[in-house]
Amino acid sequence: MILEVKHLEGGYGKKQILYDISLCIKEGEIVGLIGHNGAGKSTALRCIFGLLIPTKGQVIYMSRDTTSEPPIAKLDRGIYHIPQERFLFNDLSVKDNLEMSFFTTKEAMNFDEKLGEVYDLFPILGKRSSQLAGTLSGGERRMLGIAMGLLRNPRLLMLDEPSSGLSPVVFQSALKIIQKINRSRRTAIFIVEQNVKAAFKISQRIYVMKAGRIILEETGERLLARGEWWDLF
């Protein structure tokens, strides 16, 4: 098991958002988290990554209690979180953004070699290498964010709403890349997504959140076969 979340609770100040959240992710697995707006999905990711400190519960990563560790410690352990909001250096080029991410890792790796691997996955980034990140399209910016994470060789990649701001065609392309990363690198992926049908298609398992609680755990295949999901929201 790469990640275990046990009875997690948390929120913002006195406002509690999460109630007794428990979930797990296995090595090399894609797991989806769905729910209505305001259900607490993004808050759960922030607590797991250390952007918020839970008020109760545990976050166990690779058999180690990381509940109170800050984000930089979790980055070094192999967790990479890509938030829904943009976090790029807009005034730097694509290559400079990638270089900034690469040189924060403690692993001894060859930058040019890793950069080549990233450009193989995202050819458009190779073509835009010298372009300022702030001038990229929404899809290209999302790809750059994922590419920055891959340079750190994450064991667990957490994606918050990767479809946000993307056209259906670009989103489908991004999904294929996510699946390719999972298959070729055995990177475990935890994906929060409003496009439930897409989440069902790529995830081995799905957790459904409602009002800050996990109300269902099911396989993506079985949920996709239902055809209707209004009762989950």
Compute CA 10 distance to the chain's CA centroid, rounded to the nearest angstrom. 19
Radius of gyration of the chain (CA): 17
> Would you mind telling me the total number of residues written for the chain in this entry?
233
pLDDT for residue 210: 95
Indicate the angle between helix axes 111-121 and 94-102, nearest 10 degrees: 130
pLDDT at 106: 60
Nearest CA among 177, 185, 227, 179 for reference residue 204: 179
Please give the chain's pLDDT, 233 residues, in tens.
999 999 999 999 999 999 999 999 999 999 999 999 899 999 999 999 999 999 999 999 999 999 999 999 999 899 999 987 777 899 999 999 998 887 766 665 678 888 888 898 889 999 999 999 999 988 888 889 888 888 888 999 999 988 877 778 878 888 888 898 899 889 999 999 988 889 999 999 999 999 999 999 999 999 988 877 777 77
Q: What is the pLDDT of residue 108?
A: 52
Angle, vertex CA 11, rays to CA 105 and CA 24, nearest 5: 60
Q: Which CATH number fits domain 3-78+154-232: 3.40.50.12780, 3.40.50.2020, 3.40.630.40, 3.40.50.300?
A: 3.40.50.300
Q: How far apart are CA 189 and CA 211, in angstroms?
A: 23
- Name the residue with tokens 């428990």: 22
Model-wide pTM > 0.85: yes
- CA contacts within 13 A on the Cβ side of 12: 7
pLDDT value, residue 164: 75
The predicted pLDDT at position 195 comes to 87
Residue ranges of domains in the chain: 3-78+154-232, 91-153
